Amino acid sequence: MGKVTKRLARKNKEIKECWDDKKSVLNNLADMGLSADPNKTLHIKSTKELITPMEMDISEIKKINKKPVKESVVKALEQEANIPAAKTNKLSEPEVMYCTYMMDKYGDDYKAMARDPRNHYQETPKQIKKKINMFKNTGPQYAAYLKSKGKAK
């Protein structure tokens, strides 16, 4: 098993189940209905000369629309791609320290925060407010801050 096949097999369960070690990478991907090189699959010569399906000859269209042997892989990959990614709003440790310092010292006075000597990036009151609101929406980080201040969320 080559480097590419090992990487593909490790990353995705569906591909791993349908992978045939006796076949080449290109043949395996073709059987699954996947493309190893989209430029060759779609036959686009350049961005200036984009080919529409009406301009292609019948043999090219048949190559593109070739029925895959293992259709379940494509369906599984499409389902996996349609699952929305979980949002992970997490600020870096220096940003958390900056926000907690500003909130402890000034409360909600964003104009005073903008004039503070620790405002190294010379952020405007609006930018600071946005950063602090992002910190408040981080969940675990803000909950830890509230807990340290003796305020329950």
Q: Which two tokens stand for residue 145?
A: 């801050």
What does each of the 153 residues of the chain score in pLDDT, given as a tens digit? 456 555 655 677 888 888 888 888 888 888 888 878 877 777 666 666 655 555 555 555 455 556 667 778 878 888 888 888 877 778 899 999 999 999 999 999 999 999 999 999 999 999 999 999 999 998 889 999 999 988 765
Say what the pTM is: 0.48
**pLDDT value, residue 68:** 67
**pLDDT value, residue 142:** 92
**pLDDT value, residue 78:** 84
Show me where the domains of the chain are located: 3-82, 93-148
**pLDDT value, residue 52:** 54
Burial class (CB in 10 A: 0-12, 13-18, 19+), 35: middle
Encode burial over 15-33: b for 16+ CB neighbours within 10 A, e otherwise: beebbeeeeeeeebbbbbb
**pLDDT value, residue 147:** 93
Number of alpha carbons in the 13 Å side-chain half-sphere of residue 149: 13
Residue 105 vs residues 10, 128, 133: alpha-carbon distances, Å:
50, 14, 16
Residues counted in the chain: 153
DSSP run (H or E) holding 17: helix 13-18
**pLDDT value, residue 64:** 54
